[in-house]
Structure 1
Amino acid sequence: MPPEPVMSREAVSAFLDEVFPQIHHGGPGPVVEAVGPLSATMRLPYHERHLRPGGTISGPAMMGLADVALYVAVLASLGPVPLAVTTNLSFNFMRKPARRDLIGEARLMKLGRQLAVGEVLIRSEGEDDLVCHATGTYAIPPR
């Protein structure tokens, strides 16, 4: 059984607001929907600033959602570790997302002393089909 989170959804949200106040600059930023054992669910509210030519949500917006979802899963599992950093991200864009909120479900597959490895499944709100699958690694600083 994976360990229960050490930070609540509210605590992670407050921590993000404190250390990344710019996350909401220019419009709504990602929202922590839930945290669980080695997992986090994030919402990226739909906003026109995330669109690219052709009217689809941009790849960089989905990349940002995946990155922060993995970070939140790490924070919820370990506690406030502001200097945990992304060391690798890989993306497979599966289909054009709808013009609505995106939901990113992160799951840590390995949580070690120095590295966390996980995946993020991104869907348009209300749809079952994936719009993006991401994998990533975070380096965890010594405590």
Structure 2
Amino acid sequence: MASHHPIMTKDDLTAFLDREFPQMHAGGRSYFVDEIGPLSARMRMEYHERHLRPGGTISGPAMMALADLALYAAILAHIGPVALAVTTSLNFNFLRKPEPRALIADCRLLKLGKRLAVGDVSITSEGNPDIVCHATGTYSIPS
């Protein structure tokens, strides 16, 4: 069973993501691992024009990618570098328009088992505690 304490550091996780998923930095680095903690992770997505939708707000797909990545990061930090852990479900509630600045995704793992991990992610605009998006997700962990 996975530990409730991280076994990968922030630097280990960043190096793994950079090595296994270099395509996520196409057009420049946007995603950063800010913190890893017990059953948790914090990711940041820098504000960039490529994340905007018509009307000038950060797009839903950009927030969805950030939430999925934060959940993946939290899981890997606790089970180790398992590239084949995959998303099995994600649910999103968009609560308010994000401000034109970096987004912060705080993920907490609710269940971390041998085969499944379940977590939730709260996304805020940097410097503002109001949640702009809330996501829940489940990952399948390979044996």
Gaps of 5+ in 1: none
Secondary structure of 1:91 counterpart: strand
Task: Give matches, 1:29-44, under 5 Å.
Answer: 29-44=30-45
The corresponding residue for 2:55 is 54
Which residue type is aligned with residue 92 of structure 1?
N
The corresponding residue for 1:28 is 29
TM-score (normalised: structure 2): 0.97
Deviation of 1:3 after TM superposition, in Å, equals: 2.4
Task: Give distance in 1, aligned partners of 2:62 and 2:11.
Answer: 23
Deviation of 1:27 after TM superposition, in Å, equals: 2.6
The corresponding residue for 2:122 is 121
Among the aligned pairs, what percent are the same residue?
A: 64
Per-residue CA distance 1:90-109 (angstroms, 9 max, x = gap): 00000000000000000000
CA contact (8 A) 1:28 1:47 kept: no
The corresponding residue for 1:82 is 83
Secondary structure of 1:26 counterpart: coil
Task: Give matches, 1:5-16, under 5 Å.
Answer: 5-16=6-17
Count of residue pairs brought into register by the alignment: 141
The corresponding residue for 2:73 is 72
The corresponding residue for 1:141 is 142
TM-score (normalised: structure 1): 0.97
CA contact (8 A) 1:34 1:41 kept: yes
Gaps of 5+ in 2: none
**CA RMSD across the alignment:** 0.8
Which residue type is aligned with residue 16 of structure 1?
L
Secondary structure of 1:71 counterpart: helix
